[in-house]
Amino acid sequence: MPNLAAANTIYRTDYTSPPFLIDTIELDFELEPQRTTVINKMQVRRNPEAKYSPKFQLDGEVLQLISLHLDGMPYKNVQIDETGLTLYEVPDAFELTITSACEPANNTSLMGLYLSNGHFFTQCEAQGFRKITYFLDRPDVMARYTVTLRANKTAYPILLSNGNLIESGDLADGKHYAKWHDPFAKPSYLFALVAAQLVALEERITTRSGAQKLLQVWVEAHDLDKTRHAMDSLIHAIQWDEARFGLELDLERFMLVAVSDFNMGAMENKGLNIFNTQYVLANPQTATDIDYTNIEAVVGHEYFHNWTGNRVTCRDWFQLSLKEGLTVFRDQEFSADMAAADAVNAAAARANQRIENVRILQQTQFTEDAGPMAHPVRPESYVEINNFYTATVYEKGAEVVRMYQTLLGREGFRQGMDLYFQRHDGQAVTCDDFRQAMADANQRDLTQFEGWYSQLGTPYVSVRTRYDEAAQTYAVTLAQHHKPAPNALQVVRAPLLIPFALGLVDTNGQDLALQLDNENAPGAATRMLELSAAEQTFCFINVRRRPVPSLLRDFSAPVIVEYDYTDDELIFLLAHDSDPFNRWAAGQQLATRTLLTHARQAENTQLNTHETNPALIEAFGSVLRNPTLTPAFRAQVLTLPTEAYLAEHMDEANPAAVHAARQNLRVQLANALSDDWFAIYAQHQTPGPYQPTPAAMGQRALKNLALSYLTDSEHTERTLHLAQTQYDTANNMSDRGAALSALIHLGGELAQAALTDFYQRFENEPLAIDKWFAFQARQTRAEMDVINVVRTLLRHPAFTSKNPNRVRALIFSFISGNPAQFHAPHGAGYTLWAEQVLALDTLNPQLAARLARLLERWRKFIPPLREQMHKALETVLASAQSKDVREIIHKALL
């Protein structure tokens, strides 16, 4: 295999400062779908801090150069190739004017300037600006932008760019123009423009300094009734950042724009955030509770980037987690505070958020860290930066930021943030700069903390305990270690600084007041131990009876705890732990243990469907019936670990065995607790108009979980009736969607009728049609051949590979959401995968690479599957063109 990596790999340690700086840029767009002309006038000067370079290299891709002037004169000492322009013998400071053209209508990559529903949008992060014009397309070159847009007024009545509108008017030939100026210097990845036929929901607000601001949510006219929630989320985000971090909106106007074709969730362009429609549009008919929750989180996320990302940005792309980890942490805290503020039980609402976040971390990031794409939070190298918008950079990055707060306290963390902005506002900086600000503001040496940025892999903390009855002491020994790095890239490891929250639960279910052997008096019930050595022992005194340890409370560090709990201890913690997160974790661990045992039995075809773990069923039943627990929490506990999570925990992943085991336990829980499920179903209705409050969402979550379990019970007719009634009478998408999914699972004519009804009902709502595809792709009825369903749906007139949401709804949902069917022994799933990766490879490399990643764990699987997956990977390697896909496949096959 030709070594793709060697030639194209970019290394973190190769960073050098830009030889030139660009202080201002004036862009002039003549927007035409087939050919858009861009005049780009830049004020350039040598960077006094950089090594002298005789040549000036500008990035530019798929551009047609029309003319180039230096200080007003045509300039000929230029070389051009597919990566950009090189100018020779340039003066120390000069004005450069470049005219070029690009072809938005032919741009299917959704990077740079492209069309969606016939309108113009841009996406520049990470390196899309170079597809718009020639520039130093790197985040440490920050310029002030003035942008003039010209376009046909009828087709594109709305012309938007970053900053403030300073001029607009009509032109000849039915055209009009708008001129925008952004007062803040920014890197090119934050540039954006929109030219479209849109309408806006508007609000005016006053921020804490008394300034008036205009907020707008721009959408297509028929979506105006789906903008209220995004606007409310934005207002809440603005208020939250003022209250929690003292950070105020710095522009006169702030705009959100919805776009149907988008590779990611949303983008934080300065003053002009562009959103995947999925993360803006919501009304009760079309959006689920999860959609509402996600919209609040993503609107918050993009808004928070205005300070953590835009005002202080990244020096280079290896520092991506500087903005992403920090901003995910901020959006998680925002969501938790919002949920807590609206909840009857604030602590439970927070715990619920934490469980959701950790569930995602464990499912996605832990898996990534164990596979061929494993990389540190601050990667050392990449071939294609778009492949590094990962769970590690985002989710683990957020956990790393959270640990500062855990170690330094909320106040200390806030002081660190204040110092970070004092020092670095307006700069492009590194993860080290952030860590230094945290350290200096708290007079703490955080040198060891660097390991969280530089070391890949999930740390393990194994725990040993020893109770000495005579001495009344309880010794807890924590030892950290790693599994061997999966891709053998990194071997050097040093102990990390791990905040490890611990409680000791007495036999009566109460927390002990903890006293270490060097302390005079007992203290709080939860102790934040700081594990900094490879192994450390903490000795608690005055412990009158052997307690049960509650380890890593609230998931205080992104590690895997190893401790030999007995089943009884897990059941005890599930019933009594004062830390709701650990209560949930105990239940999950118990379920995982049972399911993995069953999966091994299923592998040997000994799985007896009547066989049961009565203690587990009783423990889960007590949680389900416990009225002092919130419905949301009960739903979390009763939700079994996913098949993908379970497969990852087998020595060799066997999706069929995992599915059989999980399905078997579902049937047992459904039947043994059927009276409870019916009662729960009846008690947790939410009459009246739809409300996206934490309480109502919790009710629906538990009710719909009950419905889902009941579809696996022996009460088929009764359940069918409930599902059909719920489908017919639902006043919101959470309920209608859950009912549809229940009907599909039960199968038969009612399912077909409901699917037809759903399609007709929502024919003009693309986001609902996405759900229609996804429900079908995720169905797990044993007698359904879902690969064929998916193949048929690929030919449905509403399916198109050009829309990433549609591709995710059908293809990604099937592959990640339906492992037993995807990994069916005949290997047809892998053929489908290879076909689709190659089809997307030329159309949209970024999306193709994300799809390619779904097979990266092939080595983990049982041999017959592994071999077939290997073949599919080889097929893709033989034909894939994009460096996005090639990097993934190459690493998977290493």
Which amino acids are annotated catalytic? 302
Binding positions for Zn ion, 303-362, rule CB under 5 A: 324, 327
Between 302 and 603, whose beta carbon lies closer to Zn ion? 302
CA 173 – CA 175 distance, rounded (Å): 5
| Residue 685: strand pairing partners | none
CB 851 within 8 A of CB 811: yes
Report the run of H or E that residue 194 belongs to, with start and end.
strand 193-196
Asked if 123 interacts with ligand 0A1 (CB under 6 A), we say yes
Q: Given the complex with ligand 0A1, which of 28 and 182 has the nearer CB atom?
A: 182
621 binds, among ligand 0A1, Zn ion, none (CB under 5 to 8 A by kind): none
Q: Minimum Å distance from CB 57 to ligand 0A1?
A: 24
With respect to Zn ion, which residue has the nearer C-beta, 379 or 692? 379
Tokens of 551: 């380890």
Tally of CB atoms within 10 A around 410:
11
Is residue 188 a contact partner of residue 21, using CB atoms and an 8 Å limit?
Answer: no
Determine if 266 is a binding residue for ligand 0A1 (CB under 6 A).
yes
Size of the site for Zn ion (CB under 5 A): 2
Selected from 188, 263, 734, 844, the binder of ligand 0A1 by CB under 6 A is: 263
Among 194, 237, 264, 559, which residue interacts with ligand 0A1 (rule: CB under 6 A)? Answer: 264
Ranges within 285-314 binding ligand 0A1 (CB under 6 A): 301-302
Q: Is residue 356 within the footprint of ligand 0A1 (CB under 6 A)?
A: no
Contact 543, 467 (CB under 8 A): yes
The one-letter amino acid code at 714 reads E
Q: CB-based burial of residue 826 (10 Å sphere; 0-12 exposed, 13-18 middle, 19+ buried)? A: exposed
If the CB atoms of residues 734 and 846 are measured against ligand 0A1, the closer one turns out to be: 846
Among 217, 267, 476, 837, binds ligand 0A1 (CB under 6 A): 267
CB of 140 to Zn ion, least distance (A): 18
Q: How far is the CB of 296 from Zn ion (least distance, A)?
A: 15
Strands 142-152 and 20-30: parallel
Q: Which residues make beta-bridge pairs with 43?
A: 24, 95
268 binds ligand 0A1 (CB under 6 A): yes
**By three-state DSSP, how is residue 228 classified?**
helix
Query: If DSSP codes are grouped into helix, strand and coil, which group holds residue 31?
Result: coil
| Cβ distance to Zn ion smaller for residue 324 or 765 | 324
Q: How many CB atoms lie within 10 A of CB 835?
A: 16
Q: Least separation, in Å, of the C-beta of 292 and Zn ion?
A: 20
Cβ neighbour number for residue 36 with a 10 Å cutoff: 21
Site string for Zn ion, 517-536 (x = CB under 5 A): --------------------
Residue 336's binding partner among Zn ion, ligand 0A1, none (Cβ under 5 to 8 angstroms by kind) is none
- Least gap, CB of 162 to ligand 0A1 (angstroms): 15
The residue (of 323 and 891) whose beta carbon lies closer to Zn ion is 323
* Nearest CB to Zn ion, comparing residues 394 and 681: 394
Position 643 contacts ligand 0A1 (CB under 6 A) = no
Segment 432 to 491, residues that bind Zn ion, using CB under 5 A: none
- Alpha helices in 105-246, H assignment, sequence order: 228-245
In 288-364, beta strands by DSSP E: 313-314
Q: Least distance in Å: CB of 71 to ligand 0A1?
A: 35
Residue 237: both structure tokens together: 């985000």
**Closer residue to Zn ion, CB minimum distance, 304 or 404:** 304
Give least dist CB 141 to ligand 0A1, A. Answer: 18
CB 323 → ligand 0A1: shortest distance, Å? Answer: 7
Binding string, residues 375-394; x marks residues near ligand 0A1 by CB under 6 A: --------------x-----
Task: Tell me the window of 261-269, 497-505, 662-670, 692-700 that interacts with ligand 0A1 (CB under 6 A).
Answer: 261-269
Residue closer to ligand 0A1 by CB (options 114, 758) is 114
Distance of CA 81 to the CA centre of its chain: 36
Verify binding: residue 395, ligand 0A1, rule CB under 6 A: no
- DSSP-derived letter for residue 189 is G
Q: Which of 316, 324, 511, 554 binds ligand 0A1 (CB under 6 A)?
A: 324
61 touches ligand 0A1 by CB under 6 A: no
28, 125, 289, 399: residue in contact with ligand 0A1 (rule CB under 6 A): 125
Give the 3-state secondary structure of 51-104.
CCCCEEEEECCCCEEEEEEECCEECCCEEEECCEEEEECCCCEEEEEEEEEECH
Q: Shortest Cβ distance from residue 223 to ligand 0A1 (Å)?
A: 21
Take residue 828 and report the two structure tokens written for it.
């047809």
Piece of the chain touching ligand 0A1 by CB under 6 A; list 68-76, 232-240, 257-265, 432-440: 257-265
Long-range contacts of 265-268 (CB under 8 A, 24+ apart): 265/298, 265/301, 266/298, 266/299, 266/301, 266/302, 267/123, 267/125, 267/192, 267/302, 268/190, 268/301, 268/302, 268/303, 268/305, 268/306, 268/309, 268/310
- Cβ contacts of residue 244 below 8 Å, gap of 6+? 333, 334, 337, 414
Q: Where on the chain is the footprint of ligand 0A1 (CB under 6 A)?
A: 123, 125, 263-268, 301-302, 324, 389
